[in-house]
Copies of this chain bind each other. A is one copy, B any other.
Amino acid sequence: MANTFGQLFRTTTWGESHGDAIGVIVDGCPPQMKLDVQDIQKELDRRRPGQSEISTQRKEGDQAEILSGIFEGKTLGTPIMIGVWNRDAKSKDYDHMKDKYRPSHADYSYDAKYGIRNWKGGGRASARETIGRVASGAIAKKFLFQEFGLEIVAYVKQIWEIQANIDIDVVTQDDVESNIVRCPDQDIAIRMIERIKEARKDGDSLGGIVECVARNVPPGLGEPVFDKLEADLAKAVLSLPACKGFEVGSGFGGVVLTGSQHNDAFYSEDSRIRTKTNNSGGIQGGISNGENIIIRAAFKPTATIMKSQESVDVNGNPITIEGRGRHDPCVLPRAVPIVESMMALVLADHALRHRGQTGT
């Protein structure tokens, strides 16, 4: 289901970056849950471009409207339709992009697949599509918190070669929001901000890693063998623009440990079975074990840069593409609420599925 994610808690996004509007349908959300447009807007505001001096300076208002599925402030259990109008999209001149394939954008591959594309912008490949995901994720997060006290916190773990040191068990969203790069290691954050400013000056861009933790996850979520919890998390994360890698728990670093170093010993605490270490990242055999779920997403540097680049036009003729307008030197700070949202969509869906199959 190309534009739909989830089986019981289902998210369908729609809209091109330079069409009239963009949005999402959330189908399967439990009924009788209090929901206000502000619950959604506050997360869209975290995702919005132009929040700080290190982000793109494009200003997008991104005001959400809820068009269905809510009655007297509560969810009906029917599809929740949320739209955001692309107010500024039409005023600009994009004719120079019409015949060009921008390097490491999706211009060529969309043409190869569909034989047509909205060349006025990234279309569905634009990061603007994630508006719908963040809106749906805001609802999923609210459900998970109400139902289980489950909380999800993501932050920037690495920008370029600059890596932060963060205590994943205690970091809060307030810590994350305390600086504009959304890295709760304050000293490292300063270095990251400097490096991003430098990249902007160079007309270049930077990638990095977002780490995300879910705490108070009930044991039992995940459906082996194909819908293992980590498999759906990996899909969720790799479906994001610019994402090139995913890890859970020990991840790639775990391959240099031996089994005796890597195994998480069980112990008992307050009549709950726990593990002393958490190399498993809160998931064993595809099912949550009640420990914190820890994932990491690697984002490549964004493709839009202000340097001139070699490329071809739609006929294969060599061209040079010049940087033009404004660019976002590093999307990582804005990716933080997006990764949280994807984690929330997976957990909410699996919570409903688990309840469906087992009654618990």
Size of A's binding interface in residues, CB under 8 A: 152
Known pairs A124-B225, A225-B2; A112 contacts B246 (CB<8 A): no
Q: Fill in one digit per residue for A250-269: 1 if any B CB lies within 8 Å of its CB, else 0.
A: 11101111111111111110
Q: Which residues of chain B come closer than 8 Å to A275, judged between CB atoms?
A: 103
CB distance from A332 to the nearest CB of B (A): 9
* Copies held by the complex: 4
Q: Which residues of chain B come closer than 8 Å to A262, judged between CB atoms?
A: 104, 207, 300-301
Complex CA distance for A259 and B331, rounded to whole angstroms: 12
Flag if A263 contacts B303 (CB, 8 Å).
Answer: yes
A286 at the interface (CB under 8 A from B): yes
Docked complex: A43-69 residues within 8 A CB-CB of B: 65, 67-69
Flag if B285 contacts A106 (CB, 8 Å).
Answer: yes
Complex CA distance for A209 and B254, rounded to whole angstroms: 10
Docked complex: A16-37 residues within 8 A CB-CB of B: 16, 19-23, 25, 27-28, 30-32
Complex CA distance for A317 and B288, rounded to whole angstroms: 21
Contact of A206 among B7, B258, B265, B289 (CB under 8 A): B258
Docked complex: A343-360 residues within 8 A CB-CB of B: 352-359
- Residue of A65, A230, A354 with most chain B CB atoms under a 10 A cut-off: A230
Complex CA distance for A228 and B106, rounded to whole angstroms: 12
Q: Which residues of chain B come closer than 8 Å to A108, judged between CB atoms?
A: 266, 273, 284, 289
Q: Fill in one digit per residue for A110-121: 1 if any B CB lies within 8 Å of its CB, else 0.
A: 101111111000
The 8 closest A-B pairs by CB, nearest first: A106-B285, A356-B356, A205-B259, A268-B316, A235-B235, A2-B223, A112-B219, A109-B287
